[in-house]
Amino acid sequence: MVGINGVKYKLMPESTEVDLKEMENAAKKIVEEFGGTNKEYSIENIAFGLRALIVFFFYHDDKNIDVMEERLSKIPNVASVQLIDMRKIA
């Protein structure tokens, strides 16, 4: 039986000028193409006007999560992708 994991990533934009809504829409599309289930998207204030996009989704553990991280890192204007939480859901 395939389990379900919950994963949370922090996507850092290249600058304060980046449209985080566009970044969120791109991330949602990537999660769906990966076979994941979008759960929650939020904004985290970092410093000096810089904000990060927090992406939380579920995925089946038969998928290679490294592929997801690579795809998220290719979103335009994303400077870095950091895994901040991962846990077994079911």
Total domain count, the chain:
1
Residue type, 28: K
- The pTM assigned to this predicted structure is 0.92
Q: What range defines the domain where residue 44 resides? A: 4-88
Kindly give the parts of the chain with pLDDT less than 70. none
pLDDT of residue 87: 95
pLDDT of residue 90: 87
pLDDT of residue 16: 96
Angle between helices 20-34 and 65-73 (to 10 degrees): 150
Using CA atoms, how far apart are residues 11 and 2, in angstroms rounded to an integer? Answer: 27
CATH number, domain with residue 73: 3.30.70.60
Instruction: Tell me the helices (H) and strands (E) count for the chain, helix number first.
Output: 2, 4
Determine how many CB atoms are found less than 10 A away from the CB of residue 19: 11
